[in-house]
């Protein structure tokens, strides 16, 4: 994903108790369909704390902060998106927009290799799932 200074990164930091984490991840898994459908969303990811496992960070890349606030939030995709993540609204510690800088590292070969391994695992799971569907029919 090519990001320039016009784009906006929305950072949402959550503190989610362990008993709510499965629901949180499921909510964002379902809500991601509305991000994918939005022409204003360039991409997103969610990271989970290792040292502090109650912490999650959601990063959503928007075409601009204005497009997020006046485009996505006023679109047909926003209400169903928000309804899915709304149960976790009180768990938000920070929700702000950031703009990218020109400072970034190059993607190293080891990171590319890890992404390839992860993609191969996903493809294998999809193939197993796909074959399972064929067997059921």
Judge contact between 92 and 32, C-beta under 8 A: no
What pLDDT does 106 receive? 76
Q: What is the CATH number of domain 8-104?
A: 3.30.70.100
Question: What are the tokens at 99?
Answer: 């703009």
User: 92-118 b/e with 16+ CB inside 10 Å = b?
Assistant: eeeeeeeeeeeeeeeeeeeeeeeeeee
Predicted confidence pLDDT, tens digits, the chain (137 residues):
455 557 899 999 999 999 999 999 999 999 999 999 999 999 999 999 999 999 999 999 999 999 999 999 999 999 999 999 999 999 999 999 998 888 877 767 766 666 666 666 656 655 554 444 443 33
What pLDDT does 137 receive? 35
Judge contact between 44 and 35, C-beta under 8 A: yes
What pLDDT does 6 receive? 74
pTM: 0.75
């Amino acid at each position: 994903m090519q990001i320039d200074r016009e784009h906006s990164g929305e950072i949402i930091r959550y503190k989610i108790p362990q008993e709510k984490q499965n629901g949180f991840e499921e909510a964002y898994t379902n809500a991601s369909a509305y991000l994918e459908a939005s022409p204003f969303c360039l991409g997103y990811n969610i990271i989970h704390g290792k040292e502090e496992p109650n912490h999650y960070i959601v990063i959503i890349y928007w075409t601009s902060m204005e497009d997020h606030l006046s485009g996505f939030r006023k679109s047909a995709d926003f209400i169903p998106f928000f309804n899915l993540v709304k149960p976790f609204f009180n768990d938000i510690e920070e929700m702000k927009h950031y703009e990218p800088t020109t400072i970034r590292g190059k993607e190293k070969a080891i990171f590319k290799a890890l992404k390839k391994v992860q993609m191969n695992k996903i493809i294998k799971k999809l193939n197993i799932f796909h074959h399972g569907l064929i067997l059921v029919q």
